Amino acid sequence: MKVFISADIEGCAGVTSWKETILGETEHFKAAEQMTLEVKAVCETLLENGVDEIVVKDAHDSGKNILFDMLPKNVKIIRQWLGSPYSMVQGLDATFDAAIFIGYHSAASMTGNPLSHTMNTIINKMMLNDMICSEYLLHTYAAASLGVPVIMLSGDKMICDWAESFNEGVVTAPMKEGIGDGVISLNRADALDMLKDRTKQALANIDNCHVTLPDRFDVSISYNTHMSALRASYYPGVKRIDAYKVSFTSESVLDMLTTRMFII
């Protein structure tokens, strides 16, 4: 069995400030270590339970957060960026049996994480078919377009709750709860235990995680500055709704992700 892991950092246990997420900042090391251990715990559990091939995408910012020398054998890692609109799941293809998202976070406009955002902090809200659009939703559709179910999500409690309401088959592992600028987080040992436990549950539940793709994707995006909205409005198919907001419609996941890639 072959599993793809997409790993972000803002939803990992303990992480609470932007400085902790930026490669080169002194505070980054501890967060990167936590992200690494969370991914490692999931990889080891997968390998102990019948998975023989794992590819991990380091999907945060620089793409160079995971301390890759700590990953177990039979795990490959994709570092930096391959330029694909599949973004945080780039490298995924139809040969994978399942995908797992680690360290994911609440979307822009949601209060569940001090670092809530969707793809980039130049926007404050993205809507997709009347749902607040998170990175979880974007990449669950990306995976679904390749026939791959997302079977597990770890991150802040609010994105975990949202994912369960969207897809009742997905197994979640809430690492922390965000309130204002702070988090109430599990400690490392309990976080890793929960990830191991939920990984086993998720493997037993693969068949219940398929999502149906909509026929069309109606997207609107609110930017922090009118300049960003103006600039985005020049992309083919993108309309300016007001000073700060644009919208577009796509008929396929790939078209939607491609437009997203150029305007956020």
The site for Zn ion (CB under 5 A) is made up of 8, 10, 60
- Looking at beta carbons only, is 8 or 20 nearer to Zn ion? 8
The 8-class DSSP code of residue 107 comes to P
The least distance separating Zn ion from the CB of residue 81, rounded to whole angstroms, comes to 13
- Looking at beta carbons only, is 116 or 172 nearer to Zn ion? 116
The least distance separating Zn ion from the CB of residue 47, rounded to whole angstroms, comes to 25
Nearest-5° Cα angle at 202, 197 to 205: 135
Alpha helices in 49-183 (DSSP H): 135-145, 157-166
Secondary structure class of 50 (helix, strand, coil): coil
The least distance separating Zn ion from the CB of residue 65, rounded to whole angstroms, comes to 9
The least distance separating Zn ion from the CB of residue 104, rounded to whole angstroms, comes to 9
Its sign, for the CA torsion 147, 67, 14, 19, is negative
Strands (E), 33-137: 53-58, 75-78, 98-104, 123-128, 131-132
Q: Which residue has the tokens 């950092």?
A: 9
- Looking at beta carbons only, is 51 or 119 nearer to Zn ion? 119
Determine the residue with CB nearest Zn ion.
Answer: 60
Q: Are strands 171-179 and 217-223 parallel, antiparallel or unpaired?
A: unpaired
The least distance separating Zn ion from the CB of residue 10, rounded to whole angstroms, comes to 5
What the block records as the tokens of 236 is 């083919």
